[in-house]
Amino acid sequence: MFRHSRKSSGASAPSGLRRTIVLAAACLFAFAATTAAQNVPTPKSVLGFQPTDDRTIADWKQITDYFAKLDAASDRVKVQEIGKTTLGRSQIVAFISSEENIRNLEQHRGFSESIANAVPGQKIDLGKGKAVVAISCSIHSTEIVASQMSMLMAHELASATDPESKQILDNVILLLIPSANPDGIDIVADWYRKTLGTKYEGSSPPELYHHYAGHDNNRDWFMMNLAETRNITKLFWQEWFPQIVWDVHQQGQTAARMTVPPFFDPPNPRIDPRILRELGLLGYKMAADLQATGQAGIVTNATYDTWWHGGFRSAPYYHNSIGILTEAASAELMSPVTITKQQMERQGPTRGFRSPLETATNAPDAWTGGEWSPKDIAWIELTAGRAVLEMAAKFRERYVETMYELASKNLRPDTNEPEAFVIYAGQPREEAVSRLLEILMWQGMEVRLLTEEIEGATDPAKRDDIHEIPGGSFIVMVNQAQKPNVLSLFEEQVYPERLNEKGEAEVPYDVAGWTLPLQMGVEYTPVYNIKDSDYLPGKTEVIHDINRARKALNLSPVSGPFAAMPNPLRNPARVGLYKGWSGSMDEGWTRLVLDNHSIKYKSLMDEDVRSGDLGSDVVILPSMGERSIVQGNSEQRYPKEYTGGIGDEGVENLKKFVNDGGRLVCFDSSCDLVIKAFGLPLKNTVEGLNRGQFYCPGSILALDVDTSDPLSRGLKQRTAAYFTRSSAWEIGEGSAVSSVARYAEDDLLLSGWILGEQHIKGKTAIASAKHGKGEIVLFAFRPQHRGQSFATFPFIFNALER
Ligand SMILES: [Zn+2]
C-alpha cells in the first residue's frame, strides 16, 4: 500500500479533485487518530492556513513555532537548535521516531557513531542499529515548497497510528531539517508577501537569498564557509552519521515533474559503487511509487551527475552515506502556474533527457502540460519521502551494515593509494594552513601533528626513495572511515574527457576539479611507504582543538570555531564593493572574503555609482555581466526602486574615478565592460570559441606570476588559480597595460578538465593598466572563487593597499 495513493494522473485530474486528494494525503490519519494523536496540533491549527495551499507562505518564525508546538505535544518529536544562521536565526532539526526511540535518542546517536567509525576491536551488534535518515528542505529558498511541506510530513508521522507508519517510527530515526537556509525563508516570505497580488507576484527577490552565497550555498559542503553548512556538517559528521541524506530541491517550471536518482555520468571513482547502487535503488523506489499513484513526468538518469563534491547531497557519498537529490518542477514561489504543451516543447534537452514530451526508458510517462501548483510539488515530495522512509524501515539492517562495512573496508590500507597526506611545517600562509586544518576537522576527519620526524616516499613512482618528513608537519592518514573524503579533497581530479556527437564538451554538473590544499595555496604531499608506520601513533598527536594546531603554527589562539582571520592589509585603502540589485553571488563571495579577513568596505548601490558618490580609493566590480551592471533589473519584472543598474552615467563616473586617481579592480565577467569603456587593448583569446575548441568547466590551473609586481607581493612564481568559464588575454603591443600573471606554458592543468588549452597557455590572466592618475586591475578569472581559492586571495589584498 502506498501512503499517498491517488487514481488519476497529475496532468488530467481536474484541479478541484487533485486539491482534495492532496489534502487527504496530508491529513490521512485524522480519521484514525488516537487520543494522543488528537493532541498533536495540525499545521493549520497553528498557522491559520493549510501549508502548501496556493498563495500561502509560512515564514521561519511560523515554521519554528509549529515545530516547537509539535515537540511539546508529541513524544515522537524532539526539536533541537543546531546553531545560529549567518544572520542570527535559530537553525533547527526535528528528530522524529517512536516514543521509545526518542526517549533513548542519545543512545541511538552513540550507536550510529560507532557504526560510522567501525572502530576495530569494538564489538557491535549491527541488528540493534536504527536507520538514520536526514531530510533537508529548501536550501535554495526560492525552491520554497519543501519548507512548507516539512510541517505536513512532521505532523503526519507524529499523529499516525497505522502499522506501516509504526514500522517506520520503530525502525527509523528521522532528522528533519525544515530548511537548510532559514534566513532565506524569511527573505523569500517577505518578498512574496510584499508582491502578492501585484504584477510582480511569484518573482524572485532582488537580492541573494543567502547573505553571502545565494544559490551557491549548495557549493560549500566541503569548504565550511557558511554558518549553515557548519551547523549541519557538525550534526551529520560529528554527531549523527545518517546513512541516508535527502536534499529536497526544485528545478525549472518546464523541466521534468521530478528528477530523481540514479543520476547521469560520470560517477566519481572515489564514490564506492555500493553507494551508487543503493542511491539508484532509492531513486527507483521513489519513481515507482510515484508512477503507481499515476504521477507522470518522473525522470531518472538525467541532468545531474555524481562527479562533483561540494553539494549537500554529494558530501555524504564521501562519508559512506547515500546522498539523494530530487528536483521537482517549480510553480512561481507559492503561486500556481499553467504550463502549456508549447512551453514544454521549448524546454531544451539536458543530459540523458531529450525532451519532457518524449517517453523514454528513464522517463516512461511524459507530462505534457497543465496546471501546476505548490500542492502538486508537496504531493510528489511527500510521496517520495514516504518511499525513502519505507525503504529505510524495511531494510534497516542493510543500511546500517552498508555504512559499517564500507567504513571497515576504508580502515584497511590499500597499496594503490597514498598512506597519508602531509601538510608541511614551516610554510608561509600559516592562516590558510590553520583554516584548511579546521575545515578538515569539522568534517570529522582525523588530523595529527607529527611530534617528531618520520620517513617516507613522496613520489608514487619511486616508493623506495625514502626521505625525511619534518616534525611539526601535520599528517592526515588515508585509512580513515571517511577515506573517500580524504582522497577526494587531497587528490587531483582527472575529469574524463566527454564529448557529444558534435565533438563538443559535454557540460558537467558544476565543476570538474576542487583539490582543496591546491586551491588554498597550501604546500602538501602524498606519502607512500612510511617507514616503521606501526610506530607512527607514538610520533604523532591527534589534534582535537584548532588552537592546538595554531600553537604549533605559532599563531595566536582564536576564541571560537571559524573565527575571522587577521586583517592582511598594511595600509588599507577605502574600499567600495559594487553590489546593485541583481543579487550577484560573486559579490556575496567577495564580501565573505573581506569580512573573514576583517577588511572594511562600503557596499556601493546603483544610485551611489550613478551619482558618483563612491567615497572610495579602490572600487571592486565583482564578476557580473555588462548588462547586469549597466542596465540592472528590468522594470517589467521588478518594482522601479530595484531596476536600472548604474546606467551610462555610472560608467562615466567610474572613468572619472580612475582618471582622478582611483583604482578599479574587476573580476572575470565585469572586465568586458571595463575593457570596452576604457578602450583597453586586451583581446580575449577564448571569446567565440565553441565547446569543441575550448572548454574548462571549473578547474585549477597554474599561473606564472611576475613576482616583481607590487600586486604579487607574497605570491609564488607558480600559483594555482581557479578557472571556471573565464577569460585569457592578449595585450596589444606598445600599450600601457602590463601582464601581472599568465596562464602557465607547461603543466597548466592542476586539477579538473581543460579542452583546447593551447588557446590560453602563456596568455595574460591578471593585467594592470595605468589610466589618467589612476589604475585598473583586471582578473580574467575569479580570484575569490566561492571563498575557496585562498591561493589567489593575496592578489586581491595587494590591490586593496593604498
Ligand atoms: Zn536547488
Report how far ligand 1's centroid is from the alpha carbon of 228 (Å).
15
Report how far ligand 1's centroid is from the alpha carbon of 93 (Å).
20
Q: What number of residues does the chain have? A: 802
Report how far ligand 1's centroid is from the alpha carbon of 514 (Å).
21
Question: Which residues lie across from 339 on neighbouring strands?
Answer: 370
In a 3-state reduction of DSSP, which class is residue 157?
A: helix
Alpha-carbon dihedral 581, 585, 589, 590, rounded to 10 degrees: -50
Reading the block at residue 533, the C-alpha cell is 608506520
Report how far ligand 1's centroid is from the alpha carbon of 42 (Å).
28
Reading the block at residue 107, the C-alpha cell is 543512545
Would you say 760 and 697 are in contact if contact means Cβ atoms under 8 Å apart? no
d(CA 208, CA 582): 8
Report how far ligand 1's centroid is from the alpha carbon of 250 (Å).
5
d(CA 403, CA 133): 13
Report how far ligand 1's centroid is from the alpha carbon of 215 (Å).
7
Report how far ligand 1's centroid is from the alpha carbon of 278 (Å).
22
Reading the block at residue 566, the C-alpha cell is 587577521
Report how far ligand 1's centroid is from the alpha carbon of 216 (Å).
9
d(CA 452, CA 416): 26
- From 410, 412, 411, 419, select the one nearest 456 (Cα to Cα): 419
d(CA 749, CA 743): 10
Reading the block at residue 264, the C-alpha cell is 547521469
pLDDT for 7: 35
* Distance in angstroms between the alpha carbons of the first and the last residue of the chain: 70
Backbone φ, ψ for residue 346 (5° rounding): -75, -15
- Per run of 10 residues, the mean pLDDT along the chain (length 802 residues) is 40 37 44 59 98 98 98 98 98 98 98 94 89 98 98 98 97 98 98 98 97 98 98 98 98 97 97 98 98 98 96 98 98 98 92 93 97 98 98 98 97 94 96 98 98 96 95 97 98 96 94 98 97 91 97 97 97 98 97 98 98 97 98 94 96 98 98 97 98 97 98 98 97 93 98 98 98 98 98 98 96
Report how far ligand 1's centroid is from the alpha carbon of 64 (Å).
22
Quick one: DSSP state of residue 660?
T
Report how far ligand 1's centroid is from the alpha carbon of 549 (Å).
36
Report how far ligand 1's centroid is from the alpha carbon of 54 (Å).
21
Determine if the peptide bond prior to 316 is cis (ω within 30°).
no
Q: Which residues surround ligand 1, an ion (CB under 5 A)?
A: 140, 143, 249
pLDDT for 784: 98
Report how far ligand 1's centroid is from the alpha carbon of 668 (Å).
25
Report how far ligand 1's centroid is from the alpha carbon of 135 (Å).
14
- From 301, 310, 252, select the one nearest 279 (Cα to Cα): 301
In a 3-state reduction of DSSP, which class is residue 249?
A: strand
- State the sign of the Cα–Cα–Cα–Cα dihedral 272, 274, 275, 279: positive
Report how far ligand 1's centroid is from the alpha carbon of 51 (Å).
20
Would you say 158 and 180 are in contact if contact means Cβ atoms under 8 Å apart? no
Q: Which residues contact 262 (CB under 8 A, 6 or more apart)?
A: 276, 279, 280, 283, 284, 300, 301
pLDDT for 10: 34
Quick one: DSSP state of residue 362?
T
218 burial type by CB count under 10 A (0-12 exposed, 13-18 middle, 19+ buried): buried
Report how far ligand 1's centroid is from the alpha carbon of 303 (Å).
13
pLDDT for 120: 83
Q: For cell 561540494, what's the residue? A: 310
Report how far ligand 1's centroid is from the alpha carbon of 143 (Å).
6
Report how far ligand 1's centroid is from the alpha carbon of 377 (Å).
14
In a 3-state reduction of DSSP, which class is residue 751?
A: strand
pLDDT for 363: 97
d(CA 254, CA 702): 40
- From 48, 71, 72, 70, select the one nearest 59 (Cα to Cα): 48
- From 219, 28, 188, select the one nearest 722 (Cα to Cα): 219
Beta strands per DSSP E along 552-676: 575-578, 602-604, 618-621, 663-667
Report how far ligand 1's centroid is from the alpha carbon of 580 (Å).
23
Determine if the peptide bond prior to 266 is cis (ω within 30°).
yes
Reading the block at residue 480, the C-alpha cell is 580513515
Report how far ligand 1's centroid is from the alpha carbon of 431 (Å).
33
pLDDT for 38: 64
Report how far ligand 1's centroid is from the alpha carbon of 323 (Å).
15
Backbone φ, ψ for residue 645 (5° rounding): 65, -165
Report how far ligand 1's centroid is from the alpha carbon of 598 (Å).
31
* HEC sequence for 477-542: ECCCCCHHHHHHHHCCCECCCCECCCCCECCCCCCCCCCHHHHCCCCEEEEECCCCHHHHHHHEEE
Q: How far is CA 575 from the centre of its chain?
A: 28
Q: For cell 601538510, what's the residue? A: 423
Report how far ligand 1's centroid is from the alpha carbon of 140 (Å).
5
